[in-house]
Structure 1
Amino acid sequence: PPGGRVQTIEPSPHKPGKAYVAVYRYMLDDWQPYIYKTEDYGLSWIRLTTGTNGIPADYPTRAIREDPDREGLLYAGTEFGMYISFDDGAHWQTFQLDLPATPITDIKVHRKDLVLSTMGRSFWIMDDISPLHQITEQQSRADAYLFQPTDVYRMRWSGARSVDDGAAPEYPPFGAIFYYYFADDAPDGNVMLEILDETGNLVRSYSTDSTATDTHPRGTPVLANNAGMHRFAWDLRYPGPIAVEEGANGGRGPMAVPGMYRVRLTAGSQSETRTFELKI
Structure 2
Amino acid sequence: MLRADPQRRGLLFAGAETGVFFSVDDGESWSRMRGGLPEVPVYDLKIKGSDLVAGTHGRSFWILDDISPLRILADGNLVNRLIPPRTAIRTRLRSQVMHSSKNIYFTVDPIDGGIAVVEKQDGTKNYEHLDIGENPPHGAIVYYWLADGEKGPVALIFRDAEGHVIATLRSNDSSLHGDSRPSAKPGLNRYVWDMRYPGPAELDASLLDRRNKPLVPDLDPQQAQSRCPAIIMSSSRSDPRLSPRSSGSLRIHDSRPRLTPISSNLPCYQT
Q: TM-score range by the shorter chain?
A: 0.5 to 0.7
The match for 1:176 is 140
Report what 2:124 is aligned to: none
> Could you tell me the TM-score, scaled by structure 1's length?
0.64
Give the secondary-structure state (helix, strand or coil) at the position aligned to 1:156.
coil
The match for 1:277 is 239
Normalised TM-score (structure 2) = 0.66
- The equivalent of 1:262 in structure 2 is 225
Change (3 A) 1:184 1:100: same
| Percent of aligned pairs sharing the same letter | 34
Match of 1:118 in 2: 56
CA deviation vs aligned residue, 1:166-210 (integer Å, no higher than 9, x gap): 5432221111110012123643x4211010122211011111234
Q: CA deviation at 1:279?
A: 2.4
Aligned residues: 208
Which of 29, 37, 43 is residue 105 of structure 1 equivalent to?
A: 43
Cα 1:252–1:271 shift into 2, 3 Å: farther
Matches within 5 A, 1:51-130: 63-130=1-68
Pick the structure with greater CA Rg: 1
Distance in structure 2 (CA, Å) of the matches to 1:145 and 1:67: 22
Secondary structure in 2 aligned to 1:121?
coil
Cα distance change, pair 258–233 in 1 and its aligned pair in 2 (3 A): same
Q: How do residues 1-280 of structure 1 correspond to structure 2 at under 5 angstroms?
A: 63-140=1-78, 142=79, 144-157=80-93, 163=116, 166-184=130-148, 186-187=150-151, 189-212=152-175, 221-244=180-203, 251=214, 253-267=216-230, 270-280=232-242
Change (3 A) 1:191 1:82: same
For the Cα contact (< 8 Å) 1:158–1:173, is it kept in 2?
no
- CA contact under 8 A between 2:44 and 2:56: conserved in structure 1? yes
- Tell me how far apart the structure 2 counterparts of residues 224 and 75 of structure 1 sit (CA, whole Å): 27
* Mapped contact 2:82–2:232 kept (Cα < 8 A): no
Q: Which moved more, 1:227-236 or 1:94-103?
A: 94-103
Residue 77 of structure 1 and its aligned partner are, at CA, apart by 0.8
Unaligned 5+ runs, structure 2: 96-110, 117-127, 243-271
Deviation at residue 139 of structure 1 after TM alignment:
2.7
Corresponding letter in the other structure for 1:171: N
Report the 3-state secondary structure (helix = DSSP H, G, I; strand = E; otherwise coil) of the residue aligned with 1:105: strand
**4+ aligned runs moved over 4 Å, structure 1:** 158-162, 164-167
Q: Which has the higher contact order (CA 8 A, sep 6+)?
A: 2
Secondary structure of 2:240 counterpart: strand
Q: CA RMSD in A?
A: 3.1
Are residues 111 and 136 of structure 1, via their aligned partners in 2, closer, same or farther at CA, if it must alter by over 3 Å?
A: closer
